[in-house]
Structure 1
């Protein structure tokens, strides 16, 4: 199979869009090292998913649910929601398209779970809201419960402290 990664998507300089990087920081504090961060560009996300057996993805959403709401989607079992109107990503062209393309090409990891955290403000320069911060804490706890760092599923596991996964390539574009 391949390794397991935790792909945290978002831009910490855009308010609640920074919830993915906040989850990344919380996971690293819990000794999870296979954490990859991307700003949300589709090409970068596809590159991060290459040769991965398990992907746990975290991103902000904007669907109208209460801010801080954490939702979990099993993309491999349930299929990928392809509509941006579904409200599971705060990116205009990025995560939704990358997941849809990976699904269509048969390149979606065999285990692919998406956690979304509902945001309320995505203004440039805004801080992470209290609701998004609470959602990040809740999502981190759920990820650690569902995917323990040393547990194996389909032959992959998060690496405990020591091994680092290289960062997601940056496209050079800003959001």
Structure 2
């Protein structure tokens, strides 16, 4: 793959499980090819659009609240279809990830490959610690991202 690739870890580390995207981003340090940019973001829509702008592939990691078992990891091909409102309808980031992706799609700025890894959170209260279930999901997401970025055509949804 010759185009720009970026991993965006999204979240607020002061709100319990909401910070998991940033923790996944940090866990990738030194594990990805040198041409893959890894950034942390608070989830603010215009910042997400700026990070994705010009990328051929974007991999986003965020917490979600769909009612599934905490620590459940789901992968979405956001280039193919909108993110489910049930998982991403409410955001501690204000204008959320799903809306940012749809805005990028409408503006024709969505990367050709846009993958979202969502980790089901348990607690999002200010000052809450990261839950054990979510912490245990980090290595799984790290491994899946590394495999997908190294061999993008071989990884399914």
**1:139 matches 2:138:** no
Matching residue of 1:102:
104
Contact 1:80 1:103 in 2 (8 A): no
Contact 2:88 2:97 in 1 (8 A): no
TM-score by length of 1: 0.78
Q: 1:46 aligns with which of 38, 46, 49?
A: 49
Query: What are the Cα deviations for residues 22-56 of structure 1, in whole angstroms up to 9, with x where unaligned?
Result: 10111115356611111010011001111111000
Contact 2:17 2:130 in 1 (8 A): yes
**Structure 2 CA distance for aligned equivalents of residues 113 and 35 of structure 1:** 14
Residue 135 of structure 1 deviates from its aligned partner by 1.4
Query: What are the Cα deviations for residues 83-139 of structure 1, in whole angstroms up to 9, with x where unaligned?
Result: 6x3213662422111101011222100011010000000011111111111112111
Matching residue of 1:72:
75
The alignment partner of 1:6 has SS state of: strand
**Structure 2 CA distance for aligned equivalents of residues 62 and 137 of structure 1:** 20
Residue 80 of structure 1 deviates from its aligned partner by 1.8
Contact 2:11 2:41 in 1 (8 A): yes
Count of aligned pairs between the two proteins: 148
**Over the residues paired in the alignment, what is the CA RMSD in angstroms?**
1.9
Residue 58 of structure 1 deviates from its aligned partner by 0.4
Matching residue of 1:167:
none
TM-score by length of 2: 0.86
Unpaired segments of 5 or more residues in structure 2? none
Structure-2 change in CA distance of 1:55 and 1:89 (3 Å): farther
Name the stretch that deviates more: 89-98 or 57-66.
89-98
The alignment partner of 1:66 has SS state of: coil
Alignment of 1:55-94 (within 5 A): 55-76=58-79, 78-81=80-83, 85-88=85-88, 91=91, 92-94=94-96
Q: Which runs of structure 1 show a deviation greater than 6 angstroms over 4 or more consecutive aligned residues?
A: none
**1:27 matches 2:21:** no
Q: 1:124 aligns with which of 119, 123, 126?
A: 126
